[in-house]
Amino acid sequence: MPPLIVLWDIDHTLIENSGVSKEIYAAAFTALAGRAPTEPALTEGRTDRAIMMEMFQRQGLMPPPWEETSAALKAAGSGRFEDLRRRGRVLPGAEEALRSVRSEPGMVSSILTGNIVGNARVKLAAFGLDSLVDLTVGAYGGDSTDRSALVGIARNRVAATYDTPPEAPVVW
């Protein structure tokens, strides 16, 4: 029997970031554009690729290449680790749920998030949750502009890593 793949979102599912995510987008935009944005990022559960692309377009600017944008997002996220620890929090029951799934035979626990992998790691590490999931098989905001594509990406990564069929059941 194939494993059950359990994929967790991060923001507003495992943690409350208390506005730090919006600050990450603003800092990345500022680093790339040379000026602060006049409006905050519109996130609504989208991927970092889509969020940053739209942010530049709303400001009347051409989005820079994704590699540059991703590096700016990662730097901005790393620089806000302590802000996350100080202002954010783990949501009730999140750590217990992660521990329970991790200890269950026949389950693979990972992440499906709009965040790039570096910022997903920062957000989880800020609260000691990073060791409770297999981050190598998750799907992240740098993988696609289309969040719905992330389930298939994670499923394929789990299949390749755990030698399981690509049609293994997924819960997210």
Listed by start position, the domains of the chain span 4-16+90-171, 20-85
- Confidence label for 55 from pLDDT (cuts 50, 70 and 90): very high
> Which residues are bridge partners to 111 per DSSP?
8
What per-residue confidence (pLDDT) applies to 44? Answer: 86
Q: What is the mean pLDDT of the chain?
A: 96
Q: Tell me the mean pLDDT in the region 48-76.
A: 97
- Confidence label for 168 from pLDDT (cuts 50, 70 and 90): confident
The larger pLDDT score, comparing residue 100 to residue 2, is at: 100
What per-residue confidence (pLDDT) applies to 3? Answer: 85
What per-residue confidence (pLDDT) applies to 164? Answer: 85
Q: Does domain 4-16+90-171 have CATH number 3.40.50.1000?
A: yes
CB within 8 Å of 130: residues ≥ 6 apart: 121, 124
What per-residue confidence (pLDDT) applies to 4? Answer: 92
pLDDT in tens, 102-140: 999 999 999 999 999 999 999 999 999 999 999 999 999
pLDDT in tens, 74-106: 999 999 999 999 999 999 999 999 999 999 999
Tell me how far CA of residue 156 lies from CA of 148, 159, 163, 168, in angstroms. Answer: 14, 5, 10, 9
